[in-house]
A and B are shown apart, each in its own frame.
Chain A
Amino acid sequence: MTAPANTKNIRFKIKRQDGPGKASYWQTFDVPYKPNLNVISCLQYIAEHPVTVAGEKSTPVVWDCNCLEEVCGACTMVINGKVRQSCSALLDELLKETPGGMVTLEPMTKFPVVRDLWVDRSRMFNALKTIQAWVPIDGTHDLGEGPKESAENQDVRYSLSRCMTCGCCLEACPQFLLGNQFIGAQAISQARYFNLHGTGKVLADQRLDAMMGPGGITDCGNAQNCVKVCPKEIPLTESIAAIGRQATVHAVKRFFNGPPRK
Chain B
Amino acid sequence: MASSKPRIIIVGGGLAGLAGAIKIAESGLDVDLFSMVPVKRSHSVCAQGGINACNKVARQQGYSEWMHFDETVYGGDFLNHQPPVYDMANMAPKIIDLLDRMGVPFNRTSEGERDLRLFGGSLFKRTHFAGATTGQQLMYALDEQARRWEVQGKVTKYEFWEFLWPVVDEQGACRGIIAQDMRTMQIRAFRGDAVIMATGGNGLIFGKSTNSVICTGGAAARCYQAGAWLGNPEFIQVHPTAIPGEDKCRLMSESARGEGGRVWVPRKKGDTRPPGQIPEAERWYFLEEKYPKYGNLVPRDIATREIFFACRDGLGIGGGRMVYLDCTHLPDATKHKLAGIFEIYEKFTGDDPCHVAMKIFPAVHYTMGGLYTSFEPKPDFKGMVPGHPKNMMTNVPGLYAFGEVNYQYHGGNRLGANALLSCIFDGLFCGPSAVQYVQDQKSPAADLPESLYQKFAQQEETKARKLIESNGTFNPYTLHRQLGDVMTDYCTVVREENGLRTAAEHVDRLRDQFRALKLSDTGMWTNQSLSFTRALGDMLVYAQAILAGASLRKESRGAHYRSDFTERNDAQFLKTTVAKYDKAKDRPVIEFEAVPTPLIQPRARTYGKVDA
Contact = CB atoms under 8 A, between A and B. Distances in A.
A36 B245 contact: yes
Contact of B212 (A58, A67, A143): A67
Interface in A63-114: 65-74, 87-88, 90, 114
Nearest to B130: A158
A108 B22 CA distance: 33
A26 interface: no
B133 interface: yes
A191 to B, nearest CB: 13
Interface residues of B, number: 66
A131 to B, nearest CB: 11
A115 B526 contact: yes
Interface stretch (A159-167, A207-215, A253-261): A159-167
Given A38-B246, A48-B478, A60-B529, A67 B45 contact: yes
Contacts of B213: 65-66, 68
Interface in B503-544: 520-521, 523, 525-526, 528-529
Main secondary structure of the interface of A (DSSP, over half): loop
Contact of A161 (B137, B151, B347, B349): B137
Contacts of B247: 38, 40-41, 44, 68, 87
B279 interface: no
B582 interface: no
B133 to A, nearest CB: 6
B355 to A, nearest CB: 18
A164 B103 contact: no
Contact of A69 (B23, B250, B523): B250
A125 B136 contact: no
A128 B40 CA distance: 12
B147 A129 contact: yes
Contacts of B108: 149-151, 153-154
Contacts of A68: 212-213, 245, 247-248, 250
B109 interface: yes
Interface stretch (A168-176, A194-202, A241-249): A194-202
A118 B156 CA distance: 23
A158 B100 contact: no
Q: Which of A58, A59, A67, A161 has the most CB of B within 10 A?
A: A67
B235 to A, nearest CB: 23
A114 B147 contact: no
B145 A137 contact: yes
A60 B46 contact: no
A136 B105 contact: no
Nearest to A148: B112
A72 B41 contact: yes
Contacts of B521: 50, 59-60
Contact of A57 (B148, B349, B520): B520
B526 A41 contact: no
B101 A70 contact: no
Interface in B417-472: 428
Contacts of B529: 47, 59-60
A90 B350 CA distance: 10
Contact of A134 (B130, B148, B212): B148
B212 A146 contact: no
A223 interface: no
Contacts of A121: 38
B102 interface: yes
Nearest to B110: A151
A66 B41 contact: yes
B107 A34 contact: no
17 contacts: A36-B245, A44-B477, A48-B478, A58-B520, A60-B521, A66-B214, A67-B43, A69-B248, A73-B40, A74-B38, A115-B525, A125-B147, A134-B144, A134-B148, A146-B102, A153-B108, A164-B40
Interface of B: 22-23, 26, 37-38, 40-43, 45-46, 94, 97-98, 100-103, 105-110, 112-113, 130-131, 133, 136-137, 140-141, 144-145, 147-148, 150-151, 183, 212-214, 245-248, 250-251, 340, 344, 347-349, 428, 475, 477-478, 481, 520-521, 523, 525-526, 528-529
Closest 9 CB pairs of A and B: A146-B100, A48-B477, A134-B144, A59-B521, A115-B526, A135-B103, A41-B247, A41-B246, A148-B112
